[in-house]
């Protein structure tokens, strides 16, 4: 039997169709990076979100992002992030932030870290009532008053601040870990009623008296300056309390 030979132009046409089908099939196997909504206006926020989406190819919609870490930003607030309704953890370092406005639009946010930023207005923290972990480092913080209503907080860290009083923490009965460094706090008495505290770290502060910590039943880890180690109340020298000094 004589084989039927197709004309050259027909063979080329069939080859082109086959190649197109192959390319289409390969393209269908991948997932396109989700688009960033127009509500995100600031370019730095858009770039940071885009990077997060590339790091998490399983995410098919920006609302599915649960974590965002941004560095060296010229942004001034969190207003652009209202589209990230699924966000649970947010870290911003070295930014031009002057306010924390916009946090209230993140209903699932449980962790917030802000460092080396120019924040001067912290009032919006009071609206972020879902927060469980908060870290504020090297910012213009002078009072913890905005934190008073954050009763879900279990972890709090602040350093290089102008905070002088821990009084607003009296209301944070869920607090388990507290760390503060390079800040002029002197009085620990507001901590006396925080029965869930398990760990306290303080360094380079104005604290001279540790007796308010004596009655904390769950305290098992205490880190202090070496100069405080020599003035430890005997009641803190317990077998179940690990004391570290630098």
Does 23 fall in a domain? no
The residues, ordered by sequence, that sit 6+ positions from 115 with a Cβ below 8 Å of its Cβ are 92, 93, 94, 135, 136, 137, 138, 139
Does 122 fall in a domain? yes
Does 81 fall in a domain? yes
Q: How far apart are CA 213 and CA 215, in angstroms?
A: 6
More confident residue, 230 or 245: 245
User: Which domain, by its residues, includes 160?
Assistant: 43-245
pLDDT tens-place string over residues 182-229? 999 999 999 999 999 999 999 999 999 999 999 999 999 999 998 898
Place of tokens 């930023």: 117
For residue 210, the domain's CATH number is 3.80.10.10
pLDDT for 7: 53
Does 20 fall in a domain? no
Does 120 fall in a domain? yes
pLDDT tens-place string over residues 65-122? 999 999 999 999 999 999 999 999 999 999 999 999 999 999 999 999 999 999 989 9
Does 214 fall in a domain? yes
pLDDT tens-place string over residues 146-191? 999 999 999 999 999 999 999 999 999 999 999 999 999 999 999 9
Q: How far apart are CA 110 and CA 169, in angstroms?
A: 18
Does 69 fall in a domain? yes
Does 54 fall in a domain? yes
| Residue 240 predicted with pLDDT over 90 | yes
Residue 168 sits at φ, ψ, to 5 deg, of -60, -15
**66-99 burial, b if ≥16 CB within 10 A, otherwise e?**
bebebeebebbbbbbbebbebbbbbebbebebeb
pLDDT for 227: 86
pLDDT for 30: 52
Per-residue confidence at 43, pLDDT binned at 50, 70, 90? very high
Alpha-carbon dihedral sign for residues 203, 209, 214, 215: negative
As for how many domains the chain has, the answer is: 1
């Amino acid at each position: 039997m004589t084989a039927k030979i197709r004309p050259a132009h027909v063979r080329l046409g069939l080859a082109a169709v086959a190649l197109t089908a192959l390319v289409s099939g390969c393209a269908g196997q991948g997932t396109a990076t989700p688009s960033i909504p127009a509500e995100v206006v600031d370019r730095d926020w858009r770039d940071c979100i885009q990077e997060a989406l590339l790091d998490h190819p399983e995410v098919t919609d920006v609302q599915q992002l649960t974590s965002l870490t941004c560095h060296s930003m010229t942004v001034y607030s969190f207003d652009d992030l209202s589209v990230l309704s699924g966000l649970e953890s947010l870290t911003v370092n070295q930014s031009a932030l002057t306010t924390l406005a916009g946090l209230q639009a993140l209903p699932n946010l449980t962790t917030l870290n802000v460092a080396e930023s120019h924040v001067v207005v912290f009032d919006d923290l009071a609206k972020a009532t879902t927060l469980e972990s908060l870290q504020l480092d090297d910012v213009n913080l002078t009072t913890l008053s905005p934190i008073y209503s954050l009763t879900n907080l279990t972890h709090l860290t602040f350093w290089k601040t102008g905070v002088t009083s821990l009084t607003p923490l009296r209301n944070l009965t869920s607090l388990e870990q507290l760390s503060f460094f390079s800040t002029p706090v002197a009085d620990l008495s507001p901590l006396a009623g925080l029965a869930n505290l398990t760990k306290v770290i303080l360094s380079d502060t104005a604290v001279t008296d540790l007796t308010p910590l004596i009655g904390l039943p769950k305290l098992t880890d205490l880190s202090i300056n070496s100069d405080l180690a020599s003035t430890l109340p005997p009641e803190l020298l317990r077998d179940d309390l690990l004391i570290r000094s630098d």
